[in-house]
Amino acid sequence: MKVTVLVRPKHGILDPQGEAVQGSLRKLGFAVGGARVGRVVDLEVDAESSQEARAQVERMCQELLANPLIESFEIEVDGA
């Protein structure tokens, strides 16, 4: 089962990459009110159901893929 995880800095956490992107976009003439930079992780998970896949990936995020102190994550199970 295909699962996509979006990991990004929590609100209120300093995001120097996001600030750099925002500044560069403004210099190029784009009116942006803010930018946050995160990462996408695509996974292929062996699971019997979308609920089982989500549970497995949530555990992966808590143990490895995201730092729960400074990052939040969203899980999207393909076909769920």
Q: What is the pLDDT of residues 21-56, one digit of tens each?
A: 999 999 999 999 999 999 999 999 999 999 999 999
pLDDT over 90 at 68, yes or no: yes
CA atoms of 26 and 24, how far apart (whole Å): 5
DSSP 11-80: TTS--HHHHHHHHHHHHTT---S-----EEEEEE---SSHHHHHHHHHHHIIIII--TTTEEEEEEETT-
Specify the pTM: 0.86
pLDDT above 90: percentage of residues in the chain: 98
pLDDT-derived band at 79 (thresholds 50, 70, 90) equals: confident
